[in-house]
Amino acid sequence: MRTDYPSDARHGEVALVQAILIADDHPMCAAALGMAAQQVAPTAKIEQVGTLADAVALAEEGSFDVILLDLMLPDVQGLAGLLMLKRQQPKARIVIVSSSDQPDVMRRAAREGASGFIPKSAAMNAMIAAIAAVSAGEQSWPAEMYVEPAAETGGSLIGELSPAQFRVLRAAADGSQNKQIAYELGIAETTVKTHFAQIFRKLRVTNRTQAILALQALDVAA
């Protein structure tokens, strides 16, 4: 696979990276990303989690300079996770990690605010180069991204949802009704209804189906 990852980075800027978050539920890939991140920023604090919920929890507790985010986590599929973390950590540079090498997926990630993309098939030196480039404030995208021109679109309103609202909408997208959502999330059914009212307002839709479709539009094949 051809890539256009920068071969080096501005080490003075990379040294400023103090915290890196890795959200990936595949042990081998998470371990490889951890080793690559440590090579780039040996003094940085590196946190590893396997779900978006855990990533969100850590993002609520402290700030991260770089986030390496698996596109397909157990509790979120597609770019919704990127939008959630961008909302929580607007200054973080987020790199999407995925087994998909589709140019359209890369371009959509770029339009939604990602700083780079690492295919899971990438060699260790390519992972290191990508993380170093993003840590230095640059962009890092595989050459495949530029095969076709990217269409310009606006950012998704899904990123405006709170973590609680996102969990309610994701549960609805999985087919759960209000009573079941309330039970699964440990909240009152009236709270679920309140969340839906806020979801409709933020997504500028009028019903549950439209809200679910807005979420599903961000889902991509892994």
Q: How does pLDDT run across 166-187, given as a tens digit for each residue?
A: 899 989 988 899 999 999 999 9
147: confidence class by pLDDT, cuts 50, 70, 90? low
Whole-model pTM: value is: 0.67
What is the per-residue pLDDT for 100? 80
What is the per-residue pLDDT for 107? 87
H-type alpha helices, the chain: 11-14, 27-40, 52-61, 80-88, 103-111, 124-135, 163-173, 178-185, 189-203, 208-216
Residue 203, phi-psi category: left (phi > 0), alpha (psi -120 to 50), beta (remainder): alpha
Q: Which helix (H) or strand (E) holds 94?
A: strand 93-98
Cβ atoms 84, 159 nearer than 8 A: yes
12: confidence class by pLDDT, cuts 50, 70, 90? very low
Cβ atoms 59, 11 nearer than 8 A: no
* Mean pLDDT computed over 191-201: 92
Q: Are strands 72-73 and 116-119 parallel, antiparallel or unpaired?
A: unpaired
**pLDDT at residue 217 is higher than 90:** no
N-term to C-term CA, the chain: 17
Instruction: Tell me whether domains 11-146 and 157-216 share a fold.
Output: no
* Mean pLDDT computed over 29-33: 95
Least confident of 63-77, 79-93, 135-149: 135-149
**pLDDT at residue 57 is higher than 80:** yes
Cβ atoms 200, 51 nearer than 8 A: no
Cβ atoms 34, 68 nearer than 8 A: no
Average pLDDT, the chain: 85
Cα-based distances in Å from 210 to 26, 121, 206: 32, 36, 7
The residues spanned by each domain of the chain are 11-146, 157-216
CA pair distance 161, 202, nearest whole angstrom? 7
165: confidence class by pLDDT, cuts 50, 70, 90? very high
**pLDDT at residue 149 is higher than 80:** no
Strand order in the sheet with 116-119: 45-49, 19-23, 66-70, 93-98, 116-119
**pLDDT at residue 196 is higher than 50:** yes
Higher pLDDT, 201 or 222: 201
The tokens of 110 are what? 């770029």
What is the per-residue pLDDT for 68? 98
Q: Which residues contact 199 (CB under 8 A, 6 or more apart)?
A: 161, 165, 168, 169, 211
CA pair distance 176, 181, nearest whole angstrom? 6
The CATH number of 11-146 is 3.40.50.2300
The CATH number of 157-216 is 1.10.10.10
Percent of the chain with pLDDT over 70: 86
**pLDDT at residue 6 is higher than 50:** no
